[in-house]
């Protein structure tokens, strides 16, 4: 049965919360385990719904996957199936990360076009173009992307946009290609660095991770490894904005603050006191937040995944905020739900203008994706009365123990059957 959250507003969040490994990293690391025979072990994995979903994808390809709390062990056989069918991949976008490893390992891949969050079009054009430059042929057939390559050869590849997914699939194909690949305008996200670190520990030769130019010198084979997943900067950022919107005081551990530099800087401008440490940060807000403008951009810009949190805090901020979305065109669907809560917001193309109100009023709202769901919970924490958030399975895909952690911090939220 479907579940929903009942969120009672008015409580200040206060305390300490530890962030687990990043959703946007662990799923790609699991896919990268396809590149070598043997058992790859991942530590610090988040206990979220998407991890067993990716397990199902890998099991369908012939792997044995064991999930033991924060530890995931993937045993990849000598022969891997090249087919990732629709039933396995339909529920989440990250399943497309198996494309690069399958082409590299099997010389072919048949990956059903994935499902996932309703935040806008995310075509595979750059994934296909990158693989084609490495020597593969690709096309879309019967609802799947099909790629074949008798031999992958290093190439110079320039991405039109620093796509995280395309960067990942090109990386995982190029590590076993003959010769050198130079990838320009590559994504710079910490999760890309994490993937490169793991691949290098498997025997790959990758340099430049975290910059716009990544160089990959192909090797003949890789070997299994153990790897600690990088902390989830989006979950950490959500807690930072939860502290600010509730005028609370939250210390977040398990994350490198540099991965959230701009997001934390915005909170300082909004009036929060922010302290950073080697492995975390503290956000304290003692006043109504001030309006601050936002513009989403690829890392190191403001993350599009934190845009709903920016909208939520802006809805109750003092002044007028302009938020510009440059990554996903449908992300402003979230604004319609904020209007239900009494926000004063107007969407104009890829901009939204928000005039802060004194308070939000509780009602029923629906989450359309992981981050929108979390943003609605944050809004509900400062609305009067009880807000009901529907479609919470989206939130469970990205936030481990979300209800429990909010209650431990002093909030009031309950999970009930719809």
Output the known binding site for UDP-N-acetyl-alpha-D-glucosamine.
93, 305, 327
Residues 6 or more apart in contact with residue 198 via CB below 8 angstroms:
29, 32, 225, 227
Annotation: binding site = 23-24, 93, 305, 327
Are residues 151 and 176 in contact, defined by beta-carbon separation less than 8 angstroms? Answer: no
125 among known catalytic residues: no
DSSP letter string, 341-362: TT-EEEEETTEEEEE--S-EE-
- Intra-chain end-to-end CA distance of the chain, in Å: 7
Q: Are 212 and 184 in contact (CB under 8 A)?
A: yes
Q: Of how many residues is the chain composed?
A: 418
- Any idea of the CA torsion for 124, 126, 127, 132, to the nearest 10 degrees? 120
Q: Is 302 helix (H, G, I), strand (E, B) or coil?
A: strand
Cα–Cα distance, 66 to 307 (Å, whole number): 34
The catalytically annotated residue of 20, 50, 117, 396 is 117
- Sequence ranges of the binding site for phosphoenolpyruvate: 23-24
64-68/14-18 β-pairing: unpaired
Q: Which residues are annotated as catalytic?
A: 117
């Amino acid at each position: 049965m479907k579940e929903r959250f009942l969120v009672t507003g008015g409580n200040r969040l206060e305390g300490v919360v530890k962030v687990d490994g990043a959703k946007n990293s662990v799923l790609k690391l699991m896919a990268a385990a396809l590149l070598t025979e043997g058992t790859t072990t991942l530590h610090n994995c988040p206990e979220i719904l998407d991890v067993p979903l990716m397990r199902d994808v890998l099991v369908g390809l012939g792997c044995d996957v064991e999930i033991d709390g924060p530890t995931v062990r993937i045993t990849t056989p000598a022969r891997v199936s090249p087919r990732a069918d629709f039933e396995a991949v339909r529920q989440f976008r990250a399943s497309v990360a198996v494309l690069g490893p399958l082409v590299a390992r099997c010389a072919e891949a048949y990956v059903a076009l994935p499902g996932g969050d309703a935040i806008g079009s995310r075509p595979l054009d750059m994934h296909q173009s990158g693989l084609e430059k490495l020597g593969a042929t690709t096309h879309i057939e019967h609802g799947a992307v099909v790629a074949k390559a008798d031999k992958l050869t290093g190439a110079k590849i320039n991405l039109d946009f620093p796509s995280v997914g395309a960067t990942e699939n090109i990386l995982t194909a190029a590590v076993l290609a003959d010769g050198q690949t130079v990838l320009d305008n590559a994504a710079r996200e910490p999760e890309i660095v994490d993937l490169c670190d793991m691949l290098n520990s498997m025997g790959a030769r990758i340099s430049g991770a975290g910059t716009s130019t990544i160089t990959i010198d192909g090797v003949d084979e890789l070997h299994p490894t153990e790897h600690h997943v990088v902390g989830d900067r989006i979950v950490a950022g959500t807690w930072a904005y939860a502290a600010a919107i509730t005028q609370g005081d939250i210390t977040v551990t398990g994350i490198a603050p540099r991965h959230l530099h701009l997001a934390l800087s915005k909170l300082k401008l909004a009036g929060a006191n922010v302290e950073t440490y080697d492995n975390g940060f503290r956000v304290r807000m003692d006043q109504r937040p001030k309006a601050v403008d936002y513009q989403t951009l690829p890392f190191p810009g403001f993350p599009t995944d934190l845009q709903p949190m920016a909208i939520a805090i802006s809805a109750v901020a003092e002044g007028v905020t302009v938020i510009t979305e440059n990554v996903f065109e449908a992300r402003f669907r979230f604004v319609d739900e904020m209007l239900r809560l009494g926000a004063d917001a107007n969407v104009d193309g890829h901009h939204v203008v928000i005039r802060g109100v004194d308070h939000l009023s509780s009602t029923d709202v629906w989450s359309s994706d992981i981050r929108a769901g979390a943003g609605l919970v944050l809004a509900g924490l400062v609305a009067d009365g009880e807000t009901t958030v529907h479609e919470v399975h989206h939130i469970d895909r990205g936030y481990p123990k979300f209800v429990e952690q909010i209650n431990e911090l002093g909030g009031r939220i309950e999970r009930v059957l719809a």
